[in-house]
Each structure stands twice: as structure tokens, then as C-alpha cells.
Structure 1
Amino acid sequence: MKKTISPASNKNPGVGKSTSSKNEKLEKRIKALEEEVTKPHDDSEKMSELLRELQDLRPNLSQALRIAELESNLNRGLTDRAVDEVRRIAAESHTAREVRKIGYRLKQDGGYVRAIILYKIANDLYQTGVSVNNSKKTAMSGSPDEDAKWIINRLRDVKFAVKALVNENPDTNINSIERGIAYMGDILNCLRALEGLDPEDKALKVSACILDIASVYDDLKQYNQSVELGEKGLTVLREEFGELCSNYKFYGMMLNNLGIAYRNSGDYARAAHCYVTAIEADEKATDYATEEEREENMQMKKGNLEIAARMMAKHS
């Protein structure tokens, strides 16, 4: 049985003067760095030296997370080292599911950066230590469907934490936001590499995750990146389904979201084209539960088309 170390605790297991002294030294240095980053000046050399010293003192999980968060916010080029230390400590004392639960609790308490780090590590641990960039991956649980569910949920855990950082202050949190987006891309690669999934189901899942990442760029008002991802999501569907894309209501939703991204970027003609294509797709979709659901979705897209038409007329 693995020994659990609470991340809420600032003490390592064990007692004695040496452990107490080390923890006191760590806490003092961590607080010094936390105070340093709030100052208007930017002494990169001083802060980088503090970070290295903190890591060399072998922190516990809670302390290592605080250090990794500071490095993520500072973006001093040492973040990977700090996250690797968190991963090492977590792997020694926690399962992937336990790490995810700790991340969830941190997110609930507003510790979004630390939560993002732990969600990524939880997914890494779930992959049984295999690199996320490995081109081949077998089912970690014995069920490709269960593995896909885990991977998608971790990507969305990161997404919600990143969106919380955007809502807090996108400028101040930009380094951690960008790291979170990169983590989402890494986790998406795990889904792409997963073997044993039904190819059609996998295409739908991958395109949905691409849409999740695009939604973060929407929140950041980086609409060109959102457009690029939206087009990639549609390509995944078209490559798998060909002309049968319109059988799926999700295809119409992808087109509608891409239209919104084009509209926000100022390309009203392409936005209108997306809405028209989305409406046509809805008419053909075979997976609507009711005709009322189909009509509701079509009306929403028609409303978006009217907005795009007005914007085109206004800027013509």
C-alpha cells in the first residue's frame, strides 16, 4: 500500500530537528520568493537562484507544487525541472487517481496553476510512465473506452482550470495559461495515440477535444488560433466520415463554432458560409433525439447567420 502524503501539509513524514529545520528553511525561502515576485522590479538572476536553491532542498509535495507554480508564473526556463520534481514526489506516494483528486481539491480552493500541474501528472501516471509523445499506446486499464474517458476528462480538467486563470487575469496569468494549453495538447496526443477505439468514435472524441482547446483561445480573444483549431477539428471528421459527416449533429456544432470564431476575427463571409453549411448539416443529421432538438439547433444557427449578414452589410 502506498503511503499518502497530504498536499495540504507543509511537513514531510518523520520527526526530528533536522527535518524541522529543513522545513523551516524551505518555508522561509518559499515565502521570500513569493514576496519577491510581487515586487515591480524584475531581478531574474536573483529569483532563478532562489528557485534552484529551493529545489535542491528536496521539498515535500505541497512545497514542490508551490515552487512549480512560482516557476510557471515567472517562466524562468526552470518550470520543467520543478514539475519533474512534483511528478517524482507524487509517483512515490500516490496513484494517478489520487493525484487527480488532489488537483481537484486545489482547483476548488482557487489553486488553479497547481491543479493544472497535477492533472497533467495524473494523466502521465495513468499512462504507466510511457512518454505522452509515444506513437503507440496500448489500453492502460484494459478497456480502450475507459482509457479514452480518462484522457478526455483530464484534458477537460485542465481546460476548466485554464479558463479560470483567464477569467482571473489573462495578462498576469499568461505564462501558466500557455503551459495549460500545451498540457491540453499533450493529453490530446495521448487520445490520438490510443489504440483499440472504434475509428469513428475516436474521430468524434478527438475533434471534440480540439474544440475544447479552441474554446480557451476564444476566451483569450485569440480568434485566429481558434479558427485554426476549428478547421483542424473539421478535417478530423471529414477524413473519417467523408460525405457522411452530416449524419452527426456534432458536425453542425463544429461548423457553428467555427463560424463564431470567424465572425469574432472579422471574417464575416467565412462565418456566414460556416453557418449555412451547419444548417444544411443539421437538416441531414440522423442522431437528433427529437425533431424539436433539431429545430432548436437550426434556429440558433440561423440567428448567427443573420448576425453575420448584418455585419457583412455594415462593413461592405
Structure 2
Amino acid sequence: MPEPVIHAENLVKTYRSKGQPEVVAVGGLSFEVAPGESFGLLGPNGAGKSTTMKMIGAVSTRTAGELSILGLDPDRYGPEIRSRLGVVPQQDNLDGELNARENLFIYGRYFGLPAKACHAKADELLAFAQLEDKAKSKVDQLSGGMKRRLTIARGLVNDPRILLLDEPTTGLDPQARHVLWDRLFRLKERGTTLVLTTHYMDEAEQLCDRLIVVDKGRIMAEGSPSALIREYSTREVLEVRFGASRNDEVAPQLQGLGERVEVLPDRILIYAEDGEAVLERVIAEGLEPITSLVRRSSLEDVFLRLTGRSLIE
């Protein structure tokens, strides 16, 4: 097995304010990331994902545990590690006074790259981000998806070994998200290691080779998206709606029709290997839902199984 580019063992981060009890943001995470892997941290807001990313990015010291990035301790070799990382923060922080090309050029100069190399790299990354026709446009003239692609391109200026992406598609429309996913797929094909946080289940399934599900600073599950779905859910899920006032009333009559029944505020989920067969049984029992949907299991179902609540909060 290749040497991991990230190794964390019992990683802990706590915060303490005067007169306040200690807050545990990360409570003992252990994981490894292999070179060229796309690794995800999946969890709700406040789960400790961004805090973990800050420790990996060598901008926040750990409270306890072991952490190695590219074979180095981030608490001792922060500048060396940061020079080999690319970072895409949760909020775009592009310079609005500069155009798209200038944002890339200036950022390259921050890394000490020669001006000629920065010009060439800026052109290369504009092409990669499909922003060649926006090279001279000010940041404020770009759409949200374009700004996100430019932020990712900027994170690649120094040819990083690892690219850290914190909630890369938050706030984007579906079309912009798919364009962004395509750019990230291309990075994977080039062998760049991707580490991303997200609370979008479909994004994790699309992008991650492997992931950890984090809640309240602890790992709830680890594995590939497909392996987690096989382990914690059924092949299919039947979603039925009887109306908010009737769901709780009808739920007991649905027990036993599938492997598990989950009652949500707006619908009831019945987990089964054959959702259509279960729907036929529901109708045969005289229980006619207002709407019904048979779908494959997803990572959201995994999270419901692990925590009993919706992943997106």
C-alpha cells in the first residue's frame, strides 16, 4: 500500500472560553487518505468537518492526537505543508478589484512563482475552469458557478499534492454543480488527491472514493458510498405520503411490510429490497397514499439509520 498523504489518529480539537464549559469540536477522529484518492467528510452543519479541514490545512493546531500531512507534522511544519496544498474555502474570497486572470496571476506570485510562469499558469487554469472568455471580467461580473470554478482554479496555482475543498458547491444551481463536478473528476484523473467536506449526499456519492460520516465530532461510519449503503440500508426505499396529519396514524399498519420503517414529518420511508412489491402490499391493505415513490437507497438513508435525523439541517 502507498504511504498515506494524510494520517490522523485520535485527532481531537476542543475550544474553551473563559467561564464556559469546554466545547469538543472534534472528538477523536482516526482515518487515512491515500495518494490520488477522493476522500470525503460527510455530516451536518456543526459536525466538525470544517474544523478538521483547518487542522489538515495547517491553520489550526490540534488539541490531542496524531496528525501527519505529506509525512509532516502540521503543528511544526505549517508553512512547508501549506506550500504543497490547494485550498478552496467554503466562501469565495476572490479579489473583487481584479479580473479573473489577475486573481490567478497574483495568487501565483504569493507562492513565489516567476511572473512568466504565473502568466502561463493563469492561462492554463482559465482553460481548465472553462473561463477563457471571462479572463478580463471583474469577479463581480461572474455568476456563482463561475466564481466557484475560479476559486478552484486559484487553488491549483501551485500544483498542489492535495486539494482541500470545503463545501465546494453550496449555493449553486444543479447545472453549475454538474459543471463543477466535471472539473473535479478531471483533477482526479490527473492524480490529484481531493479532500472535501459536504452535507450533500448526492455530491458525496458522485465525487468520493471513500468517506467518513461525522456527527458531533465523531466518526459514525467509514467506507465507500456503495459499501456504506449496502451495510446500513436496503437496495430500495419506498416513500409514501398520507398527509402530515395521518402519517403517524398509518405508520403502525406499515410495520412488517419492509425491513424497517422510518417516519419523517412529511413522509414515511419503508426500506425493502423490492420497493414496488411493498407498494403493492400497501395498496392491498387498503392504505392508499397521496403520493408514492420507489427509489434506490442513498447516503441520506445511511445517515438516518445512524443518527435518526436528516443530514441536511
TM-score when normalising by structure 2: 0.28
Q: Which of 1 and 2 has higher RCO (CA within 8 Å, sep 6+)?
A: 2
Q: Which has the higher strand share?
A: 2
- The structure whose residues are more often helix, as a share, is 1
